[in-house]
Structure 1
Amino acid sequence: MSLHFSVLASGSTGNAIYVETEGQSFLVDAGLSGKQMEGLFKEIGREMKDLSGILVTHEHSDHIKGIGIVARKYKLPIYANEKTWKAMDGLIGEIPLDQKFSFAMETVKTFGGLDIESFGVSHDAAEPMFYVFHKEGKKLALVTDTGYVSDRMKGIISNADAYVFESNHDVQMLRMGRYPWSVKRRILSDYGHVSNEDAAVAMSEVAGDQTKRIYLAHLSKDNNMKDLARMAVTQTLEGQGIIVGEQFDLMDTDPKTPTPLTAI
């Protein structure tokens, strides 16, 4: 079985991604309520009781809101680095010791034939990190919640078959919007979120011959729109000599509706 995945929910109101291969299936973050998570799983024809575990990226509520209740209900192991575990203390309730596992940054864990690689990102959390899934030459890279994409990150995520890639905001919408300046400054900083244009430049530098799909993820509810993100990313990629639809396709994600379970 090749890698299959679904972006269950993506945006400022909650984030969760499902990844499976033969004998293994993982949930990356659970930033919605337990009830909402169960509904999303039902939509893709899967059940949370069958999960191998939950991988945590960082402790912000839009990524961990439902983790505690889901893990306790289905007795699922949770994997996070030590600083994230400390930051989650008091936020996800009591987790039995036999369900708590450490996944250090910049390491690889192997589950059956599936290799999961962790890497650090630049975000205002304790020790935020995301994941690359490797299976028999196939590669899925998840990269959101970062203020910029460093050369180190680009090397780790390069030439993936598919990306779930942050395209958080339109800079002008953010600057003209209702957020207080302190919040705007945070989002625009190196520890915030990447804009549509900055995301596209990074995409142009990491996409390779294997790349077939890039999912635009973690769009701001107040400072972006799907059509705007897709247009801005497409135009910026064209400026870098990449024609969307020829080298790879751009795909939407949604805060409430999962993407179809897709093989790579």
Structure 2
Amino acid sequence: MALQFSVLASGSTGNATFIEAENHSFLVDAGFSGKQMEALFEQVGRDISKLSGIFVTHEHSDHIKGVGILARKYKLPIYANEKTWKAMDHLIGEIPTEQKFIFGMETVKSFGSVDIESFGVSHDAAEPMFYVFHHEGKKLVIITDTGYVSDRMKGTISNADTYVFESNHDVSMLRMGRYPWNIKRRILSDVGHVSNEDAALAMSDVIGDQTKGIYLAHLSLDNNMKDLARMAVTQTLETKGIIVGEQVTLYDTDPKTPIPITTV
């Protein structure tokens, strides 16, 4: 079975991505209530109870809101690094010890023919990290919630077939918007979120011969729009000689609606 995925939902209000290959399926983050998560799974025709595990990126509520309830209801393993466990333990409720697993940063865990690689990002959380899924030569990268993309990150995520890549805000919209200045400063900082243009500049450094699709993710509801993100990323990539629609295709994600199950 090929490596397949669906960004179940992505945005300021919640984030969850489903991945499957062969006899294993995985959930990266569960940033919605249990009922909402179940509804998202129903929409893509998949069974939460069959998950091999929930892989947590960091402890912010838009990534962990449903982790505890899903783990308890379906007896699912949860994977996170030690600092994230400490930060989220009191937020997700009691989890049986046998369902709690440490997944250290910059390490790889294998599930059959699927290798999951973790890597650190720059965000104002305890020890935020994201994941690369490898299966039979295919590579799927999920990277959001980072204030910038370092050379180390670029080395880990380069030349993936598919990216789920943060394109959080338009800088002008953010600067002129309703957020208080301390929130604006946080978002614009190195431990906040990448803008459309900064995301595209990072993309231009990691896109390789294998790269076919980029899903623009974690768009701010207040400070971005799908059309604006796509236009800004397209323009920036094309200034770097990467022709959108020929070399790579850009796709939207949605804060409420899953993308169809897609083969990497």
2:42 partner letter: K
State whether structure 2 residue 241 is matched by structure 1 residue 241.
yes
Residue in structure 2 matched with residue 250 of structure 1 by the alignment: 250
**What does residue range 163-178 of structure 1 map to in structure 2 within 5 Å?**
163-178=163-178
**Residue number in structure 2 paired with 1:88:** 88
Q: Report SS of the residue matched to 1:90.
A: helix
| Cα distance in 2 for residues equivalent to 1:50 and 1:251 | 28
Q: How much has 1:53 moved relative to structure 2?
A: 0.5
Aligned to 1:78: 78
In 2, distance between residues paired with 1:116 and 1:229? Answer: 29
The residue matched to 2:94 in structure 1 has which SS?
coil
Amino acid at match of 2:97: L
The answer for the alignment partner of 2:116 in structure 1 is 116
CA distance in 2, matches of 1:72, 1:188: 37
Shift of 1:120: 0.1
C-alpha RMSD of matched pairs (Å)? 0.4
Q: CA deviation at 1:89?
A: 1.9
> By how many angstroms is 1:241 displaced?
0.7
1:181-216, CA deviations, whole angstroms, 9 ceiling, x for partnerless residues?
A: 000000000000000000001111101110110000
- Look up the equivalent residue of 1:176 and give its one-letter code: M
Amino acid of the structure 1 residue aligned with 2:4:
H
Query: How big is each residue's C-alpha offset from its partner over 1:144-190, in whole Å with a ceiling of 9 and x where there is no partner?
Result: 00000000000000000000000000000000000000000000000
Return the offset for 1:99.
0.3
Following superposition, the deviation at residue 47 of structure 1 comes to 1.0
Partner Cα separation in structure 2 for residue 180 and residue 208 of structure 1: 39
Q: 1:90: how far off?
A: 1.1
Match runs of 1:187-206 below 5 Å: 187-206=187-206
Q: Does residue 4 of the first structure (1) align with residue 4 of the second (2)? A: yes
Residue in structure 2 matched with residue 28 of structure 1 by the alignment: 28
TM-score calculated relative to the size of structure 1: 1.00
Question: 2: distance between equivalents of 1:113 and 1:47?
Answer: 21
Count of residue pairs brought into register by the alignment = 264
**Percent same amino acid among aligned pairs?**
80
Residue type at the aligned position of 1:154: K
Structure 2 SS opposite 1:91: helix
Partner of 2:216: 216
Structure 1 residue 81, shift from structure 2 partner: 0.1
Matches of 1:225 and 1:111, distance apart in 2: 37
CA distance in structure 2 between the aligned counterparts of 1:243 and 1:143, rounded to whole angstroms? 22
Q: Partner of 2:47 in structure 1? A: 47
Instruction: Output the CA distance in 2 between the equivalents of 1:259 and 1:202.
Output: 24
Distance in structure 1 (CA, Å) of the matches to 2:211 and 2:68: 35
TM-score, normalised to structure 2's length?
1.00
Report the alpha carbon displacement of residue 69 of structure 1 after superposing the two structures with TM.
Answer: 0.2
After TM superposition, where is structure 1 displaced by more than 3 Å over at least 4 residues in a row? none
Structure 1 residues 122-145: Cα deviation after superposition (integer angstroms, max 9, x where no partner): 000000000000001100000000
**Distance in 2 separating the partners of 1:161 and 1:44:** 22
Unaligned runs of 5+ in 1: none
Query: Deviation per CA, 1:20-72, whole angstroms, max 9, x where unpaired?
Result: 00011000000000000000001111010111110000000000000000010
Distance 2:193 2:256 in 1: 21
* Letter aligned with residue 106 of structure 2: E
Give the Å deviation of 1:113: 0.6
**Quick one: distance in 1 between partners of 2:43 and 2:52?**
19
